[in-house]
Structure 1
Amino acid sequence: MNIVYVTSEAVPLAKTGGLADVCGTLPREVAALGHRCAVILPAFRSVYRAGLKIDTTDISFAIPMSPGKLVGGRLLRCLLPDSNVVVWLIDQPQYFDRESLYGDELGDYRDNAERFTFFCRAALAALSRIEMDVDVLHCNDWQSGLIPALLQASPKAFGTLGKAATLMTIHNMAYQGQFHRDAFGWTGLDWKHFTHESFEYYGQLNFLKTGIVSADHVTTVSPRYAMEICTPQHGCGLDGVLASKGGRVTGITNGIDETVWNPATDVHLSANYDANNWPSGKVANKRSLQLEFGLEESADVPMIGLVGRLAEQKGWDLILPVIRQHVQEGRPTQWMILGSGDKQIEAELTALAAQAPQQVAAHIGFHDALAHRIEAGADLFVMPSHYEPCGLNQLYSLRYGTIPIVTATGGLADTVVDTTSETLSNETATGFQLREVSPRGLDEAIGRALKLRYHDQKIWNNLVQRAMDADWSWRKSAYQYVELYDNAVSLKRGKPLVPK
């Protein structure tokens, strides 16, 4: 099959979150299974900083964005690292040559609707001129949400692209790309198409809703999240739209790039280790962190790691009271924290680190190498998100033998098996889930983990071993996507499905 991934992010070219990890890794894994894959994304300023060789092409285009306004662009080309996956870059400096992808310190860019409408239209214009008979157009998040609808509204306008099956992947329902109805004018379509069956959503233009209703199939980043977004609690107003898709909503858990996240080869670690020698390896990495951040130097004290955005979604209303309680009561735990976000959370963590410098270490900001070292040195990793489409840090933690403590939501529930008498007996346990979503519930889960860690070393060792042995590679996810692509293409072409 010929598959094109349409996205606004892909590592190492452009990244603000997990979308980039998916779209920079999944195409390589699918290509490794024998398919021809390509990626198309905007030529953001960050693209030129990625260190890849970028070539020009002879393809250019002019998109009529409004009466009397033609916006020109050109197509550039590079390859994803260590692959033959072509990345097509939509070069339009007026829209994309900016310091950040979506906004600045003042908030979202005011012309985001115009920018990403242009991207969708330019991507279709460019792809219709590339010598590639596309079988699947795999769109990702709201920034590419107009593409299935544009194809549906004008199926003959883009050559053979009109025959391609379209997939829409939702990486986070909370981000929908909703704009004033006037933004529809940038699509170049007749206003007769601005209906609730397609572009319109309560009088506004909603990019994600448009993609959901127009795509042949909808996917999201974990099976549990696929169920959750069909409910009012997690559907962010689009649960009814998703329900209208019937059985065409599928959850496939994200994978991790094991060329980057592998404790046996990780260049950021003080000591490499694998499933055979993890006890000594993790102790060495813990001591390195303790020395670096002035924590009490002890192999026995439990270290609890946290890496990620400092935001309400991530459960900081649960985490901060527990850290304060541990500090006030002088409990023998250490907290190693990396992240940035909410300024009040940043300030509280900074104050706690100053109050108990041998117990709490907080690095405010992003530091990739430190993220790896925390995963390797910590005994436990705390991730009590209120919702989590998939999550990656719990997967990194499992790979590094750092037992995750999570809430039973989205991808966290799909990937971390709670430790109970039953799961210990059938040898499926890999971590701990909160039994109550509250500070008390989080502290109780930490207590259960530490009781096992210090009072039943054999069971704890088995737990770590099982976590490290689990397969969360992208190869596993790629097989599931290929099967879905096959089915989508068969349905698009009116052919009966062949049971697998």
Structure 2
Amino acid sequence: MIRPETMRILFVTSEFYPLVKTGGLADVSAALPAALAELGIDVRVMVPGYSEALDGAEHLDESVPLGEVPGAGTIRLLPARSPDSGLPLWLIDCPPLYQRAGGPYQDPDGRDWPDNDLRFAALSRAAARVSQGEHGLNWRPDVVHANDWHSGLVPLLLSHAATRRPATVLTIHNLAFQGLFDADRLPRLGLPADCFSPDGIEFYGRISFLKAGIRHANHLTTVSRTYAQEIQTPEFGCGLDGLLRQRAERLVGIPNGADYRIWDPARDLPLPRRYSLAEIAGKRICKEVLQRELGLAVEPDTPVVAFMSRLTEQKMADTVAEAVPRLVEVGAQLAVHGQGDRTHETRFLALAERYPGRVSVRIGYQERRARRLLAVADILLHPSRFEPFGLVPIYALRYGTLPVVRRVGGLADSVVDSATNNDGEATGFAFTGGSLEDLLGCLTRALDTFRQPVGWRRMQRCAMRRDFGWKGPAEEYFALYRTLTGPRAGPVSAAPGPPAPRPQEADMRVSTPMRARTIST
């Protein structure tokens, strides 16, 4: 049986905390490899060499040339280490593609980079070349673990490799972001023409990087057990539910975890007062200090509701904004921290002006501020029209901040609703519908419970006891890797199995209310 210390994993991602982060993918890409390393696995994380990544990484060693890639010129591999965990990193150095102002996916004005296809095809090609032992590297992975559409071409490229190749795993963090590009980009990506078909990477006449990964990976995972089932339905499948049903035997949900080295009020240095389950009184001190900092009226007995999320339709930002007058009317305060669609940002800023001392809005994202907001808040408002997992609610539990969520995806798996649990193990509040009335009804339950101190403290204790650490998920991933590599270490030589029969057009061309997106934030 293969031992952890003999297994090599190449983890390919577009984000890595603390070097570059737009959402939960960065947290997962740092915490899961670190947990795998603690099991004794030799794991390397490959991430684009954005300017901030090059500036933040430590112990940069001599670069390794990886040759030319279509449309990008020469790329190089820069060995480095994470500044917080010391985890081995490989940064893909290609200044024309990655070293520019703006974010990983968008320019400073919020528009998608027009060459995102080249930028992330280059990442995939670098991973494929390292995986095949090219350019003299004395390291080859047993498994390449790709993440979301940004590295979705890796399984496709390796499936065409002439040499022995590693097994491939693709994790779907958010199916709604698929990496869609016009078909005329195919030649400049250097992809074989025969891959552009409904049985390949074509999606409604466009190229889909995510579909390429789903089609060609040896195994698929997603980030919660409920979401793994949901994405096989027309409602949540974003047009790929037919293909996912084809591959259902190779699809599993492995829940994300929380990195309690970072998200723990007992060790969180930016807090005005650290606290824990045993000494929860410190949360009240945090509340008084941070209400003032946020420009809210300093009222320790007033419930503070935090909305800490991307300001998008997925996160029901429109519905939350509609709920604000009612929240203020019943005596609650609201603190908003996030960024997203400009229309939503403008609307929340206007609400802060309308309700001074009752509504606080901070546009943008800062990790330090996010943790301080969880400490001041009593309730986390985190509704979603769909939610693969939802890291913020499990962070909130450790801070004694009780979540209000919609019962979808990972939220259904991680929050125990007070209305459906009679065993004293409830940790939050959940609703099923998607209307304003549904959200307000659930919020009303939460606020009513807040005004019952004994019941509220009991729920806080249950929430803070919950353990969503990464040890269990890492062990599940190791078990999956082991099934793919067989009883010995070293690259597997078997290509992915033959493609499943093409589904009927109705299966693949479903009408769905969720639009696939090009970028993933």
Question: What's the TM-score once normalised by structure 2's chain length?
Answer: 0.87
Alignment of 1:56-455 (within 5 A): 56-57=62-63, 59-63=64-68, 65=70, 71-83=73-85, 85-99=87-101, 100-104=103-107, 105=109, 107-127=111-131, 128-129=133-134, 130-156=137-163, 160=164, 162=165, 164-278=166-280, 280-327=281-328, 329=329, 331-420=330-419, 423-424=421-422, 426-455=423-452
Q: Distance in 2 between matches of 1:13 and 1:293?
A: 27
Who is 1:470 aligned against? Answer: 466
1:490 aligns with 2:486: yes
The count of aligned residue pairs is 479
Helix, strand or coil for the counterpart of 1:60? Answer: strand
CA contact (8 A) 1:28 1:83 kept: yes
CA contact (8 A) 2:232 2:242 kept: yes
Q: Distance in 1 between matches of 2:462 and 2:254?
A: 22
CA contact (8 A) 2:318 2:344 kept: no
Helix, strand or coil for the counterpart of 1:247? Answer: helix
State, as a whole percentage, how many aligned pairs show the same letter. Answer: 39
Helix, strand or coil for the counterpart of 2:258? Answer: coil
CA contact (8 A) 2:56 2:83 kept: no
Does the C-alpha gap of structure 1 residues 386 and 70 become closer, same or farther in structure 2, counting only changes over 3 Å?
A: closer
Does the C-alpha gap of structure 1 residues 70 and 109 become closer, same or farther in structure 2, counting only changes over 3 Å?
A: closer
Question: Shift of residue 334 of structure 1?
Answer: 1.1
Helix, strand or coil for the counterpart of 2:239? Answer: coil
Q: Which runs of 5+ in 2 are unaligned?
A: 1-6, 495-521
Q: Distance in 1 between matches of 2:234 and 2:97?
A: 35
Does the C-alpha gap of structure 1 residues 64 and 34 become closer, same or farther in structure 2, counting only changes over 3 Å?
A: closer
Who is 2:58 aligned against? Answer: 52
Q: Distance in 1 between matches of 2:84 and 2:483?
A: 29
Letter in 1 for 2:411: L
Helix, strand or coil for the counterpart of 1:263? Answer: coil
- Say which of 456, 461, 469 aligns to 1:460: 456
Question: Shift of residue 476 of structure 1?
Answer: 2.4
1:12 aligns with 2:18: yes
Who is 1:36 aligned against? Answer: 42
Q: Distance in 2 between matches of 1:291 and 1:118?
A: 47
Letter in 1 for 2:126: A
Helix, strand or coil for the counterpart of 2:314? Answer: helix
Q: Distance in 2 between matches of 1:247 and 1:361?
A: 47
Question: Shift of residue 36 of structure 1?
Answer: 0.6
Letter in 1 for 2:239: G
Q: Distance in 1 between matches of 2:218 and 2:205?
A: 24
Question: What's the TM-score once normalised by structure 1's chain length?
Answer: 0.91
Deviation track 1:232-276 (CA, whole Å, cap 9, x = no partner) reads: 111111111111103211111111211111100101111111001
Does the C-alpha gap of structure 1 residues 200 and 438 become closer, same or farther in structure 2, counting only changes over 3 Å?
A: closer
Does the C-alpha gap of structure 1 residues 85 and 293 become closer, same or farther in structure 2, counting only changes over 3 Å?
A: closer
CA contact (8 A) 2:82 2:89 kept: yes
Q: Which runs of 5+ in 1 are unaligned?
A: 495-500
Misfit runs of 4+, over 4 Å = 491-494
Specify which structure has the bigger relative contact order, considering alpha-carbon pairs within 8 angstroms and separated by 6 or more residues. Answer: 2
Q: Distance in 2 between matches of 1:106 and 1:299?
A: 38
Q: Distance in 1 between matches of 2:44 and 2:94?
A: 20
Who is 2:498 aligned against? Answer: none
Helix, strand or coil for the counterpart of 1:11? Answer: coil
Letter in 2 for 1:317: D
Deviation track 1:202-239 (CA, whole Å, cap 9, x = no partner) reads: 33221100100100111111111111111111111111
Helix, strand or coil for the counterpart of 1:219? Answer: strand
